[in-house]
Amino acid sequence: MANEAYEAVIGLEVHTHLLTRSKLFCGCAAGFGAGPNENVCPVCMGMPGVLPVLNRYAVELALRMAFAAHSEVQPYSVFARKSYFYPDLPKGYQISQYELPLCKGGYIEIGNGGQPRRIRLVRIHMEEDAGKNIHEADSSLVDFNRSGVPLVEIVSEPDLRSADEAGAYLRELRAILRYVGASEGRMEEGDFRCDVNVSIRRKGSAELGTKTEIKNLNSFRFVEKAIAYEVSRQVAILESGGRIVQETHLWDPVREQTRPMRSKEFANDYRYFPEPDLPPLRLDAEMIEQVKVSMPELPAQRRERYQHELGLSAYEGAVLTEDKEVADYFESLLLVGLNNPKTAANWTMSEVLRALNESGKTLGQAVPPASETGALLKMVEETTLSLNAAKTAFAMMCKSGRGASATVDEMGLVQVSDEAVIAAACDQVITAEREKVAEYRAGREKLFGFFVGRVMKAMGGKGNPKIVNDLLRRRLAGN
Ligand code: ADP
Ligand code: MG
Ligand code: ZN
């Protein structure tokens, strides 16, 4: 922050799609990729006279999120109408939860470099998404495919203190959502969106300042930039004797600044009232228990396990577990019999993540199956392949889709460990470099590296380095 006298106070409201096949209150498909208005029916188009029917699986996914976030599941919650007008909302109201949400409280733990910090949650509730307006040069279009897709909204207490912390919180939240299978959390697709509430106060003060809210950010980078911008804007206002006005802002990614929405657009009177077309949501203890016992391993638990059972560092654990698919891949490498978790961890963190990031594809498309990568790493372990040769082979396998042994053969990468072959190469170099050998034997031991280089070159780089070193040292010593 520009001014050390102030502290930022941030609370986030995250909306994320639940990974259901069908929408929250009708049978229409909830996935992406269909043509405009293909996944619609009278319910999600807001026709009069239709009745919503709750998707139980969406509730189950929301409960998984609740357990992962240590949030208190409410056996009795109520859907409510949130009324506002917008062309992508044909009913004129969104079905949400208000006074009695599905879950209260909870927390998300963030690493924050050192000491873990608990960011408390206010609530987690369910609601339906709206459609999507598409503005073109001379017309505006509406696509209702997204209308009625189930969302959970996760509201944090104003516990975050910097843009970095907000980023760490969002990453952990998204990781959890993906681990429990509640959401894919894809920001590019608008799966995972965030409203950012920001205020500042004098350091040491316990009171909250007036906040502004920045709506609908759909990338981590935008969230971090918007917070930094908004904090310095507020500091400048207070420093010049001004007053912060509570208002809603939009982030302009081109100008990299926030600007207020016109006040009419966010008149905040939603006139919530209980949804008369849906009964209150009653969860019996059995259903709650069933979800609880079927909870999968969470990112934090996996990090623990990597540190304590596999001997990896906290940093390695954090990098490997951020994306569940990457962590699963790492574990598959261990399953194919690699003796050393460090080898698999290093390979995943360098080669696998690089291939993933450079290709822009999904993990399954970007890298060979773990069995093939494992076979390659086994060759390194058994010293039939140098580490560098393995990297070359891996890059090729990512492109060609061919297996490990075929690739190593085709590229002629196998490391030579045959002592007779290596000894012959050593002798050849010793004969060709009589003068240098004499110098070495007279005490210029630094020349050893030179001889290793020559032998390796003579062998096309494929000599097993350990055997080359051993044999060369013995032969130079004259025996
Ligand atoms: P609103 O009624 O404006 O939506 P809420 O009290 O429901 O406000 O809070 C919405 C979000 O704003 C929550 O994430 C909360 O933590 C955050 N928030 C509330 N007050 C502040 C504040 N003074 N500064 C920063 N964030 C705040
Ligand atoms: Mg809000
Ligand atoms: Zn529908």
Q: What is the pLDDT of residues 325-346, one digit of tens each?
A: 999 999 999 998 888 899 999 9
pLDDT in tens, 353-371: 999 999 989 999 999 999 9
State how far the Cα of 479 lies from the Cα of 472, in Å rounded to an integer: 10
pLDDT band at 462 (very low <50, low <70, confident <90, very high): confident
Residues 333/373, Cβ–Cβ less than 8 Å:
yes
CA 77 to chain centre: 31
CATH of domain 419-476: 1.10.10.410
pLDDT reported for residue 477: 86
pLDDT reported for residue 266: 55
Q: What is the whole-number distance in angstroms between the Cα of residue 96 and the centre of ligand 2?
A: 13
Average pLDDT estimate for 125-151: 95
State how far the Cα of 142 lies from the Cα of 133, in Å rounded to an integer: 5
Q: What is the whole-number distance in angstroms between the Cα of residue 218 and the centre of ligand 3?
A: 25
Specify the residue with its C-alpha closest to ligand 1, atom 13.
Answer: 11
State how far the Cα of 103 lies from the Cα of 62, in Å rounded to an integer: 9
Q: How many helices and strands, by DSSP H and E, does the chain display?
A: 17, 17
Residues 465/386, Cβ–Cβ less than 8 Å:
yes
State how far the Cα of 146 lies from the Cα of 31, in Å rounded to an integer: 8
Can you tell me which atom of ligand 1 is nearest the CA of 199?
A: 24
Q: What is the whole-number distance in angstroms between the Cα of residue 253 and the centre of ligand 2?
A: 21
Q: What is the whole-number distance in angstroms between the Cα of residue 256 and the centre of ligand 2?
A: 22
Q: Is pLDDT at 112 greater than 70 in this prediction?
A: no
Q: What pTM value is reported for the model?
A: 0.84
Q: Is pLDDT at 60 greater than 60 in this prediction?
A: yes
Tokens read off for 18: 């639940």
Can you tell me which atom of ligand 1 is nearest the CA of 155?
A: 14
pLDDT in tens, 231-270: 999 999 999 999 999 989 999 888 998 888 865 455 568 9
Q: Is pLDDT at 1 greater than 80 in this prediction?
A: no
Q: Within 10 A of 81 (CB to CB), how many other CB atoms are there?
A: 20
Least distant ligand from the CA of 11: 1
Specify the residue with its C-alpha closest to ligand 1, atom 14.
Answer: 11
State how far the Cα of 16 lies from the Cα of 58, in Å rounded to an integer: 12
State how far the Cα of 357 lies from the Cα of 270, in Å rounded to an integer: 43
Residues 448/402, Cβ–Cβ less than 8 Å:
no
Q: What is the whole-number distance in angstroms between the Cα of residue 195 and the centre of ligand 2?
A: 7
pLDDT reported for residue 114: 67
Q: What is the whole-number distance in angstroms between the Cα of residue 258 and the centre of ligand 2?
A: 16
pLDDT band at 132 (very low <50, low <70, confident <90, very high): very high
State how far the Cα of 97 lies from the Cα of 241, in Å rounded to an integer: 40
Q: Is pLDDT at 113 greater than 80 in this prediction?
A: no
Q: What is the whole-number distance in angstroms between the Cα of residue 69 and the centre of ligand 3?
A: 30
Residues 182/71, Cβ–Cβ less than 8 Å:
no
Q: Percent helix, strand, coil in the chain (nearest 5)?
A: 40, 20, 40
Tell how strand 212-217 and strand 140-143 pair up: unpaired
State how far the Cα of 64 lies from the Cα of 339, in Å rounded to an integer: 35
H or E element that contains 24: none
pLDDT reported for residue 384: 83
Cα dihedral 392, 397, 399, 400 sign: positive
Q: Is pLDDT at 216 greater than 90 in this prediction?
A: no
Using the 8-state DSSP alphabet, how is residue 447 labeled? G
Specify the residue with its C-alpha closest to ligand 1, atom 7.
Answer: 155
State how far the Cα of 456 lies from the Cα of 344, in Å rounded to an integer: 27
- Which residue(s) pair with 125 in the sheet? 153
Least distant ligand from the CA of 13: 1
For the chain, the average pLDDT equals 92
Specify the residue with its C-alpha closest to ligand 1, atom 24.
Answer: 199
Amino acid at the residue 286? E
Can you tell me which atom of ligand 1 is nearest the CA of 246?
A: 3
Residues with a CB atom less than 6 Å from ligand 1: 9-13, 155-158, 197-199, 208-209, 211
Q: What is the whole-number distance in angstroms between the Cα of residue 144 and the centre of ligand 3?
A: 9
Least distant ligand from the CA of 210: 1
Which protein residues have a CB closer than 5 Å to ligand 3 (ion)? 26, 28, 41, 43-44
pLDDT reported for residue 290: 96
Mutate to test the pocket of ligand 1, among 14, 197, 213, 215 (most ligand atoms within 8 A of CB): 197
pLDDT band at 116 (very low <50, low <70, confident <90, very high): confident
H or E element that contains 213: strand 212-217
Least distant ligand from the CA of 197: 1
pLDDT band at 228 (very low <50, low <70, confident <90, very high): very high
- Percentage of the chain lying above the pLDDT 90 cut: 79
Q: Within 10 A of 13 (CB to CB), how many other CB atoms are there?
A: 17
Average pLDDT estimate for 215-221: 90
pLDDT in tens, 280-330: 999 999 999 999 999 999 999 999 999 999 999 989 998 999 889 999 999
The ranges of the chain annotated as CATH 1.10.10.410 are 419-476
Specify the residue with its C-alpha closest to ligand 1, atom 6.
Answer: 157
Tokens read off for 20: 């259901």
**What Å distances lie between residue 67 and 10, 13, 71, 110, 168, CA to CA?**
24, 18, 6, 17, 20
Average pLDDT estimate for 417-444: 92
Least distant ligand from the CA of 30: 3
Q: Which residue do the tokens 């891996």 mark?
A: 394
State how far the Cα of 188 lies from the Cα of 3, in Å rounded to an integer: 33
* 3-state SS class at 110: strand
Can you tell me which atom of ligand 1 is nearest the CA of 210?
A: 23
Mutate to test the pocket of ligand 1, among 211, 215, 230 (most ligand atoms within 8 A of CB): 211
Q: What is the whole-number distance in angstroms between the Cα of residue 158 and the centre of ligand 1?
A: 7
- Percentage of the chain lying above the pLDDT 70 cut: 97
Q: What is the whole-number distance in angstroms between the Cα of residue 339 and the centre of ligand 1?
A: 50
H or E element that contains 220: helix 220-239
**What Å distances lie between residue 240 and 9, 201, 235, 287, CA to CA?**
20, 15, 9, 56
Tokens read off for 237: 């206002």
Q: What is the whole-number distance in angstroms between the Cα of residue 248 and the centre of ligand 2?
A: 9
Could you write out the DSSP letters of every residue in 182-209? S----TTTTSEEEEEEEEEEETT--S--
CA angle 397–357–400, rounded 5-degree value: 15
- 416: number of CA atoms within 13 Å, CB side? 19
